[in-house]
Amino acid sequence: MVIVIQCADKVGLVANIAGLLREQELNIVSMREHVDTIQNRFFARIQITKTVDAAILEAQLKAVLPEDAQVTATPNPLKKIVVLVTKEYHCLTDILIRNHFNTLGASMFCVVGNHPTLQDICRRFDMPFHLVSHEGITKEAFENELYKTVSSYNADYIVLAKFMRILSPAFVEKYPLRLINIHHSFLPAFIGANPYKQAYERGVKLIGATAHFVTNQLDEGPIIAQQIISVNHSFTTADMVKAGKEIETAVLAKALQLVFDNKVIIHENKTIVFE
Sign of CA dihedral 254, 256, 257, 262: positive
Angle between helices 13-23 and 54-63 (to 10 degrees): 140
Work out the number of other CB atoms within 10 angstroms of the CB of residue 6: 22
What would the DSSP string read from start to end of 213-275?
Answer: E--SSTT-SPEEEEEEEE--TT--HHHHHHHHHHHHHHHHHHHHHHHHTT-EEEETTEEEE--
Residue 145 host element (H or E):
helix 139-151
Q: What one-letter code names the amino acid at 237? A: T
Catalytic residue among 120, 126, 219, 239: 219
Sign of CA dihedral 68, 81, 46, 54: positive
219 is catalytic: yes
Size of the chain, expressed as the number of residues it contains: 275
**What residues have CB less than 8 Å from 22, skipping those under 6 apart?**
none
Give the catalytic positions in this structure.
219
